[in-house]
């Protein structure tokens, strides 16, 4: 056992971030990796026990972290996003949640052997999925927008309602079991819930007003938001336990729908904080479990209950609640399978386990084991299967990494054409319908609209695209586009073309964090590339082999050829960029912009001669 609290904090943070890195590096479900890491350092080897070591601070730390995570998730709930999904989402978070509660309670009573009191409370808690597990799965699986939005909305909205439903069930049970029931406690609970929603709305409205009016300076906006979230959560939770989650959800949704630009600017920062909190809190929760809890997981009653929740309760609740909606059968199958439980289920269940045990319900002692079993098995089953199932149902956008090109001109359209030949998903985006004429005539996929407009994320599905290339004639605009989309695509996959004429703005003096990486070479400008394409330069594909390697290719290529990118044997794209040495291997295909052959020049000269003769005649 580690005695230093500071050292324990360090281990938790390192394990959390390390688990996220391992999941990214080897394409594993992050929640599964974090659960295993927490179990190894906690109950299995006994290095740390955060609940015991942190004492009275343990639950407040977990509660505040969950509140921030839930608030960050609710910030993504813009009403515009739900266009066309309103009926299915409403049905799932209302009728679906009610059906799931009832079926889950029956399963807990008849299969897990719990009393009706404990079963009704557990059934309420387990309707939650939550952003702590859904959002990492959506980032990993690259679902198509429609099922992804349904799962995201359900996770964020049902999360606080699950906790409230558990409190409601507990209050109802106490009301009917008490000899002096007068209904006061029920009335107070309903009033507290209404108060939490109003409080969250007021905090959101007040925060938005301060940002819009300039009352809050830029450098204080992020700290102010976090302070407001903690205050909103704490005030509501002090009035009635678990209503704080409802308050921060209402606050986040109010801010998300006010159209405040600075909220969108801070969203990526809050996402980073949320990922860190999810990582550390999940390590803390799993490390705090006991060996006895783990042994109870393998009881036949608990395993039977988990299987029922996975294969009967969830699918039935989705299929029944979405009758007469426009969801396809494939979408119902996917949504009906994916329902991982996470941090909120663990924290709320552990709270009620202690409360129910104190009230005299002896069977409440297995609630923590039951909850962990459901959490672990669902994150494993859904984490490893979501990508496979989405592909089987044709609901996945994962495949050949695609490229989004900003700016329609002769070179960008020709580049999109070669991408199409290589089966690389491509779109050319431009705000000018006239400039898009080239793209329309070439038959490449295009998007008409301002890429920096917030409406773009609702009109253009960016899921298939892993690379962004800004190829307009303005350096400053290219830099702005690249900087804006760095959090979306990642800094290493955002590129811009060099500008070397008077229409461009020189941004080379800017700091290295502004703009994307310069494609190809600083000596090759966009004007050069456009001129070469119009002069007849062609895109040439050369596949390397053991007999004809990259060095042979460099020796044979035309000295005026421009190396563009390498399509790896794994189908990934490796662009030639300034200051980076590429090393194509056997099986890779090198794409270059090559001068036309001498025969092409002869034909072109002959055509020019014939045209001139015709004009003279």
The pLDDT value recorded for residue 103 is 93
The verdict on 458 and 541 lying in the same domain is yes
**Res 303 pLDDT > 80:** yes
Give φ, ψ of 402 to 5 degrees: -105, 170
Q: Are residues 123 and 17 in the same domain?
A: yes
In a domain, 197, yes or no: yes
Range 322-344 average pLDDT: 86
Supply the pLDDT for residue 65: 82
Measured CA angle at 560 (ends 557, 566), to 5 deg = 55
Q: Is 610 domain-assigned?
A: no
Quick: pLDDT tens for 139-176: 667 777 788 888 887 877 777 677 777 777 777 776 66
Model confidence at 425, pLDDT cuts 50, 70, 90, reads confident
Residue 363: how many other CB atoms lie within 10 Å: 17
Does the pLDDT at position 129 exceed 70? yes
Q: In which band, very low, low, confident or very high, does the pLDDT at 504 lie, cut at 50, 70 and 90?
A: very low
CATH code of the domain covering residue 569: 3.40.50.720
Q: How far apart are CA 42 and CA 167, in angstroms?
A: 30
Query: What mean pLDDT do residues 512-520 have?
Result: 67
pLDDT at residue 105, as a whole number: 92
Higher pLDDT, 398 or 480: 480
Share of the chain above pLDDT 70, in %: 83
Mean pLDDT, rounded, for 444-462: 73
> Is position 614 within any domain?
no
Question: Per-residue pLDDT averaged across 511-523, rounded?
Answer: 67
> For 462, what's the count of Cα atoms within 13 Å in the CB-facing half-sphere?
17
The pLDDT of residue 472 is above 70: yes
Residue 613 domain-assigned (yes or no): no
Task: Enumerate the β-bridge partners of residue 566.
Answer: 574, 590
Q: What is the CATH number of the domain that holds 87?
A: 1.20.1530.20
Given a cut of 60, is residue 35 above it in pLDDT? yes
Q: What is the pLDDT of residue 130?
A: 65
Residue 511: predicted pLDDT: 46
Range of the domain at 141: 5-392
For residue 514, name the pLDDT band (cuts at 50, 70, 90).
Answer: low
- Of the ranges 131-145, 206-220, 323-337, 348-362, the best mean pLDDT one: 323-337
pLDDT, average across residues 550-563: 79
Cβ–Cβ under 8 Å, residues 18 and 24: no
207-228 CB burial, b ≥16 within 10 A, e <16: bbebbeeeebeeeebeebbbeb
Mean pLDDT throughout 302-315?
92
Report the mean per-residue pLDDT for the chain.
80
Both 440 and 347 in one domain: the answer is: no
Q: Which of 194-198, 470-474, 511-515, 591-595 has the lowest mean pLDDT?
A: 511-515
**Is the same domain home to 302 and 276?**
yes
Q: Are residues 211 and 256 in the same domain?
A: yes
User: Do 407 and 357 sit in the same domain of this protein?
Assistant: no
Least reliable range by pLDDT among 76-80, 265-269, 363-367: 265-269
- Asked whether residue 102 falls in the same domain as residue 211, the answer is yes
Residue 458 pLDDT level (bands cut at 50, 70, 90): low
The whole-number pLDDT of residue 599 equals: 46
Task: Reply yes or no on whether the pLDDT at 275 is more than 80.
Answer: no
Pick the residue with more confidence: 597 or 179? 597
Of the listed ranges 65-79, 97-111, 212-226, 432-446, the least confidently predicted one is 65-79
Asked which of 117-121, 451-455, 495-499, 562-566 is least confident by mean pLDDT, the reply is: 451-455
DSSP H helices, 214-299, are: 218-239, 243-256, 261-287, 291-296
Q: Do 339 and 448 have their domain in common? A: no
SS (H, E, C) 317-361: HHHHHCCCCCCCHHHHHHHHHCCCCCHHHHHHHHHHHHHHHHCCC
350 assigned to some structural domain: yes
Please report the pLDDT score of residue 457 as a whole number: 60
372 with 422, same domain: the answer is no
Look at residue 464 and tell me whether its pLDDT is greater than 50: yes
Same domain, 370 and 414: no
Q: Mean pLDDT across the stretch 75-82?
A: 65
Name residues whose C-beta falls within 8 Å of residue 230's C-beta, 6 or more positions apart in sequence: 64, 67, 68
Q: What is the DSSP letter of 55?
A: G
Number of domains, the chain: 2
Across 361-378, average pLDDT? 85
Task: Identify whether 612 is part of a domain.
Answer: no
**Contact of 148 with 134, CB cutoff 8 Å:** no
Q: State residue 502's pLDDT score.
A: 46
Mean pLDDT of 90-119: 90
Tell me the mean pLDDT in the region 48-59: 86
Which whole-number Å values give the CA distances from 556 to 300, 418, 576, in the listed order?
Answer: 69, 22, 18
Q: What pLDDT sits at residue 78? A: 65
Of 6-20, 273-287, 381-395, 488-502, least confident by mean pLDDT is: 488-502
Token pair, residue 348, equals 């709320």
Select from 492, 489, 499 the least CA-distant residue to 517: 492
**Which residue has better confidence, 260 or 246?**
246
For residues 429 and 446, the answer to whether their CB atoms sit within 8 Å is yes
Among 392, 416, 433, identify where a domain stops: 392
- Is residue 367 domain-shared with residue 241, that is, in the same domain? yes
More confident call, 309 vs 221: 309
Residue 581 CB neighbours (<10 A): 6
Question: What per-residue confidence (pLDDT) applies to 102?
Answer: 92
pLDDT over 60 at 67, yes or no: yes
Among 366, 392, 418, the domain boundary falls at 392
| Co-location of 422 and 554 in the same domain | yes
523, 562 in Cβ contact below 8 A?
no
Collapse the DSSP code of 521 into the 3-class scheme (helix H, G, I; strand E, B; otherwise coil) and give the result: coil
Within a domain: 208: yes
pTM of the model: 0.66
446 phi/psi in degrees, rounded to 5:
-140, 160
């Amino acid at each position: 056992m580690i005695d230093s609290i500071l050292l324990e904090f360090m281990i938790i943070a390192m394990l959390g971030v390390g688990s996220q890195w391992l999941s990214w590096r080897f394409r594993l479900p992050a929640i599964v990796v974090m659960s295993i890491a927490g179990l190894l350092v906690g109950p299995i080897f006994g290095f740390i026990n955060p609940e015991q070591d942190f004492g009275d601070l343990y639950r407040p730390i977990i509660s505040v972290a969950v509140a921030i995570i839930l608030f960050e998730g609710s910030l993504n709930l813009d009403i515009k996003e739900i266009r066309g999904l309103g009926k299915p989402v409403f049905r799932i978070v209302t009728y679906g949640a009610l059906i799931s509660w009832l079926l889950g309670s029956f399963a807990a009573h008849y299969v897990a052997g719990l009393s009706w009191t404990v079963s009704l409370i557990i059934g309420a808690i387990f309707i939650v999925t939550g952003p702590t597990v859904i959002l990492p799965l959506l980032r990993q699986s690259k679902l198509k927008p429609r099922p992804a939005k349904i799962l995201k909305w359900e996770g964020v909205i049902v999360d606080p309602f699950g906790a409230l439903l558990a409190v409601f069930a507990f209050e109802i049970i106490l009301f009917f079991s008490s000899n002096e029931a007068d209904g006061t406690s029920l009335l107070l609970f309903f009033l507290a819930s209404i108060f939490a929603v109003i409080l969250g709305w007021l905090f959101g409205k007040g925060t938005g007003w301060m940002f819009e009016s300039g009352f809050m300076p830029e450098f204080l906006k992020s700290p102010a938001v976090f302070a407001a979230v903690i205050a909103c959560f704490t005030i509501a939770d002090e009035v009635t336990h678990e209503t704080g989650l409802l308050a921060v959800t209402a606050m986040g949704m109010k801010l998300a729908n006010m159209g405040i630009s600075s909220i969108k600017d801070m969203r990526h920062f809050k996402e980073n904080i949320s990922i860190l909190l999810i990582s550390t809190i999940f390590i803390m929760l799993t490390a705090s479990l006991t060996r006895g809890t783990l042994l109870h997981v393998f009881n036949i009653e608990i395993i039977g209950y988990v299987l029922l929740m996975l294969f009967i309760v969830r699918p039935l609740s989705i299929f029944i609640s979405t009758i007469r909606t426009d969801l396809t059968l494939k979408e119902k199958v996917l949504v009906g399978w994916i329902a991982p439980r996470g941090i909120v289920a663990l924290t709320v269940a552990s709270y009620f386990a202690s409360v129910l045990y104190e009230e005299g319900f002896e069977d409440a002692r297995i609630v923590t084991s039951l909850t962990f079993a459901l959490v672990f098995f669902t994150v494993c089953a859904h984490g490893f299967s979501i990508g496979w199932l989405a592909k089987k149902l044709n609901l996945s956008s994962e495949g050949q990494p695609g490229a989004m090109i900003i700016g329609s001109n002769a070179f960008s359209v020709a580049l999109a054409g070669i991408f199409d030949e290589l089966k690389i998903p491509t779109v050319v985006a431009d705000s000018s319908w006239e400039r898009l004429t080239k793209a329309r005539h070439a038959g490449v996929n295009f998007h008409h609209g301002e890429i920096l407009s917030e409406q773009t994320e609702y009109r253009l599905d960016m899921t298939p695209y892993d690379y962004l290339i800004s190829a307009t004639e303005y350096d400053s605009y290219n830099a702005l586009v690249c900087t804006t989309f760095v959090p979306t695509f990642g800094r290493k996959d955002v590129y811009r073309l060099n500008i070397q004429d008077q229409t461009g703005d020189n941004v080379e003096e800017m700091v290295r964090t502004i703009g994307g990486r310069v494609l190809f070479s600083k000596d090759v400008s966009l004007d050069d590339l456009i001129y070469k394409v119009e002069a007849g330069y062609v895109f040439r594909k050369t596949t390397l082999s053991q007999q004809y390697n990259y060095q042979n290719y460099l020796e044979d290529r035309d000295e005026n050829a421009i190396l563009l990118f390498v399509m790896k044997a794994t189908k990934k794209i490796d662009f030639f960029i300034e200051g980076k040495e590429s090393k194509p291997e056997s099986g890779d295909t090198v794409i270059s912009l090559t001068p036309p052959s001498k025969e092409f020049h002869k034909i072109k000269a002959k055509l020019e001669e014939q045209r001139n003769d015709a004009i003279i005649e």
